[in-house]
Amino acid sequence: DADVTQTPRNRITKTGKRIMLECSQTKGHDRMYWYRQDPGLGLRLIYYSFDVKDINKGEISDGYSVSRQAQAKFSLSLESAIPNQTALYFCATSDTGRSGELFFGEGSRLTVL
């Protein structure tokens, strides 16, 4: 089983619908992140969390919200999806320390019609 698991892997929805992307990890890391990938723009940080009680906005948090339900679970919600939120979304985890690397899930492809 993957260390970082994202569900769903693919989702097609309509404008205005509420969508939740879920992420769970078995690496025991405190730090979790949500990124969005768009062609030509690389990865952009949406939200990040350093522990269950710590939630921080990233570069592009507008239109998104998150919930850290447990150390191992970090969910991303789109309250009212719009077409320009069509993208590939990645969850990642990291251990503490400046040399800690990110461990990524396989991604959730979201299409908003």
Partner 1 sequence: GNSVTQMEGPVTLSEEAFLTINCTYTATGYPSLFWYVQYPGEGLQLLLKATKADDKGSNKGFEATYRKETTSFHLEKGSVQVSDSAVYFCALSDQAGNQFYFGTGTSLTVIP
Contact residues: partner 1, CB under 8 A: 4, 33, 35, 40-45, 48, 50, 90, 92, 94, 96-102, 104-107
Q: Which is nearer to partner 1, 72 or 91 (CB)?
A: 91
Q: Which is nearer to partner 1, 84 or 97 (CB)?
A: 97
Q: How far is the CB of 17 from partner 1 (least distance, A)?
A: 25
Nearest to 89 by CA among 50, 51, 60: 60
Q: How far is the CB of 12 from partner 1 (least distance, A)?
A: 17
Cα separation, 101 vs 96, in Å, equals 9
In DSSP terms, 34 is beta-bridged to 47, 91
48 and 64 in contact (C-beta within 8 Å)?
Answer: no
34 and 49 in contact (C-beta within 8 Å)?
Answer: no
Q: Which is nearer to partner 1, 48 or 64 (CB)?
A: 48
Cα separation, 92 vs 104, in Å, equals 4
Q: How far is the CB of 90 from partner 1 (least distance, A)?
A: 6
Q: Which is nearer to partner 1, 62 or 97 (CB)?
A: 97
